[in-house]
């Protein structure tokens, strides 16, 4: 185990913001910066000053943040070939950001200098040197990002090295070797970084990899092993094209597996919450199968696996989930065994250890329902209700006497609407009617059933529908196919999933909707009160 200190440089707010579909607001960027600081990141690249009003505002507002670990970095390029650093607008914007550190990107591939910038190789070296030298006199740290370094090294190694020397001679505190096109293989990165480290034995090197060949994490680790002391990347690997090295994998791999020191050990448990925050701010769906932080990262489905993990987690887990703020989950499906059911029962606070027959019956019912198309992996609330009903621990809190939905595709103004009429029997023997309109049949049913129940079960007012997914189970049947509907609902404290299956999509939606409301009543454990709405005997 190494024990060597590795600096973490995060570029979520700059490289990550270049990902297709991502647009951080000013408040998003400030909130992410605070979370990165709390996690223990050393450098936070805030953006390119002057590229847009939001980045300009960020650097102004970031000065007010009370950061305990992180330094804010402004990012920009070398000065224009036809100007001097002191009069260059880009350089002025970098200094105007008033950050303690600046990152200067310069060309290290001779082709980029000649073809893209249209200048000589020597002129390119002058741009790098003069920009770094000027900035180094005005900020605490000037860092150099050697853009396209690995392609440049493979094309002309001696020239690529000269670009590093130019930046170093000018006072650069870090030399970052960047795989800008993301095409370098890990073994190439390892060899090239080792050569650079040999040539510059007392220089601080950073590694910055893009993920175009799906090697960014592996290449970053290879670079660290060869002598780089700074790992760069983004949270969740978001970034332009295929993204950047994913710090949610890089950091635990280096720290938990290889013994390097990146963030305080006590902070590692915040990794999953940091990942979720960035997904939320980026308005991106979380990736359930993402290593370390994904919801499925420590989820076990096969019965043999679950039984083994119960005895010894290391049998099928490479780390303890809690080390990165995650948790172990046992999934229930037609692949489940007895232990899947027992572990889920424990999670639900149900004692099944002495109920062997009941456990077998629940498992048999589970497998039968899954054969019909039900899926409980994303609908654990429905499975808990199934389990408690099988054990006599839960009875329906309302009964639907009848329900009808009328739906119209559009009125004369082009608007969609639906109307639901519902009659429900309450536990006190009374019945209640309700009518509601919605922008679709499911929305109308949701409003109608709550209108019918709200006076008896006021806690249902807290329930909100967060997600609604429909899946055709037999695509060959086309419009006659059986459908499975998964609904994610929530209240002020938690979220839960429920499922319904039927050839009628409205019926399937209704099943999932009813389970959602039933689960809320189970969670609240609040008795109903005498109905005060229109009732019939």
**Cα(152)–Cα(159) distance, rounded to whole angstroms?**
8
Residues 375, 484 contacting (CB under 8 angstroms)? yes
Q: Please compute Rg for the chain using Cα positions.
A: 29
The DSSP letter of residue 261 is B
The strand pair at 399-408 and 431-438 is best described as unpaired
Confidence (pLDDT) at 479: 55
For the chain, which domains are there?
7-281 (3.20.20.70), 299-357 (4.10.430), 399-536 (3.30.160.270)
Q: Which helix (H) or strand (E) holds 535?
A: strand 535-536
**Cα(495)–Cα(401) distance, rounded to whole angstroms?**
28
**Cα(265)–Cα(49) distance, rounded to whole angstroms?**
34
Q: CA of 179: how far to CAs of 108, 145, 217, 245, 493, in Å?
A: 11, 10, 12, 10, 43
DSSP structure string for 189-255: HHHHHHHHHHHSTTS-EEEEEB-TTS-HHHHHHHHHHTT--EEEEBGGG--STT-B-BHHHHHHIII
Task: Report the DSSP beta bridge partners of residue 233.
Answer: 10
Confidence (pLDDT) at 68: 96
In a structure prediction context, what are the per-residue pLDDT tens digits for the chain, which is 537 residues long?
458 999 999 999 999 999 999 999 999 999 999 999 999 999 999 999 977 888 999 999 999 999 999 999 999 999 999 999 999 999 999 999 999 999 999 999 999 999 999 999 999 999 999 999 999 999 999 999 999 999 999 999 999 999 999 999 999 999 999 999 999 999 999 999 999 999 999 999 999 999 999 999 999 999 999 999 999 999 999 999 999 999 999 999 999 999 999 999 999 999 999 999 999 899 888 898 999 999 889 887 776 776 787 778 888 889 999 999 998 877 665 555 666 777 777 777 888 776 777 778 777 877 788 778 787 767 788 888 888 888 888 888 888 888 888 887 665 565 678 899 999 998 888 999 899 988 888 888 888 998 999 888 998 888 888 888 888 876 555 555 788 888 888 888 888 989 999 988 888 988 999 999 989 998 887 555 543 333 333
**Cα(233)–Cα(274) distance, rounded to whole angstroms?**
14
Confidence (pLDDT) at 528: 52
What are the backbone angles phi and psi of residue 34, rounded to the nearest 5°? Answer: -65, -40
Which of 498, 444, 500 lies closest to 471 in space, CA to CA?
Answer: 500
Sequence-separated (6 or more) residues with CB below 8 Å from residue 334: 366, 367, 370, 371
Confidence (pLDDT) at 476: 54
Taking residue 145's Cβ as centre, other Cβ atoms within 10 Å add up to: 26
Residue 72, sorted as left (phi over 0), alpha (psi -120 to 50) or beta, turns out to be beta
């Amino acid at each position: 185990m190494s024990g060597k200190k590795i600096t973490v440089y995060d570029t979520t707010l700059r490289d990550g913001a270049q990902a297709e579909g991502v647009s951080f607001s000013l408040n998003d960027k400030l909130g992410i910066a605070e979370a990165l600081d709390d996690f223990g990141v050393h450098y936070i690249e805030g953006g390119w000053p002057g590229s847009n009003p939001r980045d300009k505002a960020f650097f102004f507002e970031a000065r007010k943040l009370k950061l305990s670990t992180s330094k804010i970095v402004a990012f920009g390029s070398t000065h224009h070939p036809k100007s001097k650093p002191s009069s260059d607008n880009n350089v002025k914007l970098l200094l105007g950001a008033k950050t303690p550190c600046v990152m200067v990107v310069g060309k290290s591939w001779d082709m980029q200098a000649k073809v893209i910038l249209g200048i000589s190789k020597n002129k390119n070296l002058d741009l790098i040197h003069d920009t770094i030298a000027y900035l180094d006199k005005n900020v605490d740290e000037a860092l150099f990002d050697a853009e396209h370094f690995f392609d440049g090294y493979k094309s002309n190694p001696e020239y690529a090295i000269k670009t590093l020397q130019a930046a170093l001679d000018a006072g650069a505190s870090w030399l970052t070797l960047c795989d800008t096109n993301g095409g370098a293989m890990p073994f190439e990165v390892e060899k090239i970084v080792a050569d650079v480290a040999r040539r510059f034995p007392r220089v601080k090197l950073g590694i910055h990899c893009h993920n175009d060949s799906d090697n960014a994490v592996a290449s970053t680790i290879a670079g660290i092993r060869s002598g780089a002391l700074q790992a760069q990347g983004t949270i969740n690997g978001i970034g332009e094209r295929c993204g950047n090295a994913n710090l949610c994998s890089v950091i635990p791999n280096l720290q938990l597996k290889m013994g390097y020191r990146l963030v305080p050990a006590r902070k590692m448990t915040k990794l999953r919450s940091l990942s979720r925050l960035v997904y939320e701010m980026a308005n991106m769906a979380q990736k359930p199968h993402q290593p370390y932080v994904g919801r499925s990262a420590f989820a076990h489905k096969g019965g043999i696996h679950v039984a083994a993990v119960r005895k010894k987690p290391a049998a099928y887990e490479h780390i303890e989930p809690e080390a990165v703020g995650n948790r172990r989950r046992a999934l229930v499906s037609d692949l489940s065994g007895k232990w899947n059911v027992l572990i889920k029962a424990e999670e639900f606070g149900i004692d099944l250890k002495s109920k062997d027959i009941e456990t077998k019956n629940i498992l048999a019912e589970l497998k039968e329902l899954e054969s019909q198309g039900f899926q409980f992996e994303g609908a654990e609330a429905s499975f808990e209700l199934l389990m408690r009903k099988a054990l006599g621990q839960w009875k329906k809190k309302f009964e639907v006497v009848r329900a009808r939905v009328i739906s119209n595709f559009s009125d004369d103004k082009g608007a969609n609407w639906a109307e639901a009429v519902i009659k429900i029997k309450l536990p006190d023997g009374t019945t209640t009617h309700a009518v509601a309109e919605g922008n679709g049949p499911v929305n109308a049913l949701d409003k109608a059933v709550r209108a019918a129940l709200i006076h008896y079960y006021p806690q249902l007012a807290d329930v909100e529908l967060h997600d609604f997914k429909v899946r055709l189970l037999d695509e060959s049947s086309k419009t006659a196919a059986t459908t499975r509907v998964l609904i994610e609902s929530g209240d002020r404290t938690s979220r839960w999933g429920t499922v319904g299956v039927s050839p009628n999509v409205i019926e399937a939606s209704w099943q999932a909707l009813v389970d959602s409301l039933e689960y809320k009543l189970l969670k609240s454990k609040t008795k109903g009160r005498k109905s005060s709405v229109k009732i019939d005997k």
